[in-house]
Amino acid sequence: MTPSFTSNSLRFSCSLGLAPSHSKFNPYPQIPLPNPNFHQFPQPLLRLKPISAVQSKFLVPDAGAIVVDRVTEAELKENGFRSTRRTKIVCTIGPQTCGFDELEALAVGGMNVARINMCHGTREWHRQVIEHVRMLNEEKGFGVAVMMDTEGSEINMGDLGGATSAKAEDGEIWTFTVRALGLDCPDRTITVNYDGFAEDVKVGDELLVDGGMVRFVVTEKIGPDVICCCTDPGMLLPCANLTFWRDGSLVRERNAMLPTISSKDWLDIDFGIAEGVDFIAVSFVKSAEVIKHLKSYIAARFPKNDIAVIAKLESIDSLSNLEEIILASDGAMVARGDMGAQIPLEQVPSVQENIVQLCKQLNKPVIVASQLLESMVEYPIPTRAEVADVSEAVGQQADALMLSGESAMGLYPEKALVVLRSVSLRIERWLREKRHSTLEVQTMSSSVHIGIQEEMCYAAVKMANKLEADALFVYTKTGHMASLLSRNRPDCPVFAFTPNSSVRRRLNLRWGLIPFCLGFSNEMESNLKRTFSLLKARGMINSGDLIIVVSDQLRSIQVINVP
């Protein structure tokens, strides 16, 4: 949603090194980063013949090869271990960023996960986006994962007759209808996807669009049409969520009767699995049973698939069953936009912090989403309040931050990405410096399940922080041991080596992890010797670097200086 700002709005600008407002980013030279000297990237690889989603998902690297995202490799070469960004970035792909060149610019800029939203576009359109991401990874050395977001079965507006947006002004009369109008939609008429909408609303109800960005009051009902008066003007976007309030309270009964995963969602899920997506984010999760059912469905029908299921927490029902939902899922998303329409606005910050801390405790990756840089949909620089909001999420050590409209339909998607990356790097460095200058002890996450692996990773991170190690190394086939190291938020980066390319992409969502694709044996000494040789040859580590090595196979912790 595009907000309206006055010309004297406070904005964050010069220190980020943003390009002129109408320039396009060159994918290779002079990418604006906190270090102005950071501009060298490996040359593009030769163009390869595309392979299928099923083939690419289970690729194992050659015995002598090591694969890492090219941007991360360049950062390590240029600036060393401490330069790497710990907070990951998810970018929603839309009309502004669906082309190959635009996706490449986002990948160069630091996008870790590309998100496709099944609320918008056709499956063929999304298939093309997935193919572009796959080609970027295979041909140009990136490691971008793909997340598919289900539409959910909440009440939503239609597609505005094909228009990209519509402006609702104060006092205007609009009609919400369940009639199928197609592209011949009359002016100020919006279709609704729920057949019982006209029966459920009452005259005097408040209708909130997209979490309250636009408000209407119901003035009349005529058959399938609901006549409303706009009381809070704003921009209407296709497929925006609708909620209605009566006597100051959210009307929840109808939404509670709708299934979390609709028939369309199931078709979209089959599509996502067939296309090899890495994550499926389920909208408007109400209980843990929905997550369990979906994971059972994937396991039964596609036993070789290891797609991670992310629970979107955006309703009162999800907050009532928070711990059970997070435990059942493979990760969570704090969807603040719709959440803010169902709980008092002043509660959103505390709810966000509670969810982030609970996810860390339960060892689940957590994404903070919605309206992080909303003004950048329209403007080339963010407000200072938005920068403070991003800083708070980074300070809470959320695993990832997500751009929605900013990257999908905004005018400045690459610049929004630069802001997230730059603010994340600055705040992460400031937090480390603050701890060291005050001799503050890094807070380690406690777990509800204490086992040998949890204790090993806790001890390894504590040792790495105390010895000021340059990096933690972990060899993992499933990614679990790497996730436990990430959960304790070490000062140094974690190099996670896995032979499975899909595990590598899933680790893209984990805080502080640098995932490598590398085949390895059960002989730890041999693995280390080969890893050191490969990384030194590519300039990512140097002789004398202090490394803490964790092995789930040997259940050991080693302290090693790179020979």
**What are the tens digits of pLDDT across the range 389-429?**
999 999 999 999 999 999 999 999 999 999 999 999 999 99
Encode pLDDT of 341-359 as tens digits: 788 889 999 999 999 999 9
What local confidence, expressed as pLDDT, does residue 435 receive? 81
Domain end call among 198, 220, 251? 251
Phi, psi at 427, each rounded to 5°: -70, -40
- What would the mean pLDDT of 386-390 be, rounded to a whole number? 98
* Number of residues that this document lists for the chain: 563
Same domain, 555 and 452: yes
Q: Measured between alpha carbons, how far is 429 from 12 in angstroms, rounded to an integer?
A: 19
| Contact partners, residue 447, CB within 8 Å, separation at least 6 | 361, 362, 363, 454, 487
* Separation of alpha carbons 289 and 519, rounded Å: 37
Q: What is the mean pLDDT of residues 530-536?
A: 96
- Residues linked to residue 334 through DSSP beta bridges, in sequence order: 313, 368
Of the ranges 247-251, 438-442, 508-512, 537-541, which one carries the lowest mean pLDDT score?
438-442
> Facing residues of 115 across strands?
92, 147
What spatial distance separates the first Cα and last Cα of the chain, rounded to whole Å?
A: 54
What confidence score (pLDDT) does residue 315 get?
86
Residue 347: which residues within 8 A CB-CB, separation 6 or more?
Answer: none
306 against 256, higher pLDDT: 306
Amino acid at 341: A
| Same domain as 213, residue 74 | no
Name the pLDDT band for 13 (thresholds 50, 70, 90).
very low
- Domain count within the chain: 3
**Binning pLDDT at 50, 70 and 90, where does residue 431 land?**
very high
Closest CA to 154 of 323, 328, 314: 314
What is the per-residue pLDDT across 173-231, written as a single tens digit (0 to 9) for each?
999 998 877 656 678 999 998 888 898 899 999 999 987 889 999 999 999 999 999 99
Q: Where in 283-432 does DSSP place strands (E)?
A: 308-313, 331-335, 366-369, 400-403
Higher pLDDT: 171 or 522? It is: 171
Strand partners, 168: 234
Asked if residue 424 and residue 552 are part of one domain, the reply reads no
Answer whether residue 244 is part of any domain: yes
Strand, helix or coil for residue 156: strand
**Measured CA distances, 383 to 126, 337, 372, 453 (Å):** 32, 18, 10, 43
Give the up-direction half-sphere exposure of residue 388: CA atoms within 13 A in the CB hemisphere.
6
Same domain, 327 and 422: yes
pLDDT at 247 exceeding the cut of 80 = yes
Q: Structure pTM?
A: 0.84
pLDDT in tens, 39-53: 332 333 223 333 344
Whole-angstrom distance, CA of residue 366 vs CA of residue 214: 28
Q: Say what percent of the chain tops pLDDT 70.
A: 85
Provide the 3-class DSSP secondary structure of residue 112. Answer: coil
Domain that holds residue 96: 86-153+259-428
* Residue 503 pLDDT exceeds 70: yes
CATH number at residue 75: 3.40.1380.20
Distance CA 172, CA 185 (A): 17
Beta pairing partners, 513: 494
Percent above pLDDT 90 for the chain:
65
The 3-state secondary structure of 452-507 reads HHHHHHHHHHHHHHHHCCCEEEEECCCCHHHHHHHHCCCCCCEEEEECCHHHHHHH
Same domain, 405 and 279: yes
Is-contact 439 124, C-beta < 8 A?
Answer: no
Place of tokens 């090591």: 66
Query: Do 230 and 268 sit in the same domain of this protein?
Result: no
Q: The CATH number of the domain where 317 resides is what?
A: 3.20.20.60
Cα separation of 166 and 153, whole Å?
23
Does some domain include residue 320? Answer: yes
Q: Are residues 293 and 204 in the same domain?
A: no
CA distance 435 to 318: 35
- Residue 150 confidence (pLDDT): 95
What is the number of alpha carbons within 13 Å of residue 173 lying toward its C-beta? 6
Helix-strand-coil split of the chain, %, nearest 5:
40, 20, 40
Coil/strand/helix, residue 311 = strand
Same domain flag for 400 and 303: yes
Question: Could you give the CA distance from residue 356 to residue 379 in angstroms, rounded to a whole number?
Answer: 29
Q: Which two tokens stand for residue 251?
A: 């009307």
Neighbours of 521 (CB within 10 A): 11
Q: Does the pLDDT value for residue 38 go beyond 80?
A: no
Residues 345 and 279 both lie in one domain: yes
Contact criterion met (CB below 8 Å) for 210 and 191: no
Q: Are residues 115 and 189 in the same domain?
A: no
Q: How far is CA 330 from the centre of its chain?
A: 13
**pLDDT digits 0-9 by tens, 55-72:** 444 444 454 589 999 999
- Helix orientation angle between 100-109 and 413-437, rounded to the nearest 10 degrees: 10
Span 111-164, pLDDT tens digits:
999 999 998 889 999 999 999 999 999 999 999 999 999 988 778 888 777 777
Q: Are residues 329 and 415 in the same domain?
A: yes
Rounded CA separation 208/205 (Å): 10
- What is the CATH classification number for the domain harbouring 217? 2.40.33.10
> Could you tell me the pLDDT band of residue 439, with boundaries at 50, 70 and 90?
low
Q: Do residues 323 and 448 both lie within one domain? A: no
> Residue 440's pLDDT band (boundaries 50, 70, 90)?
low
Quick check: is 270 in a domain?
A: yes
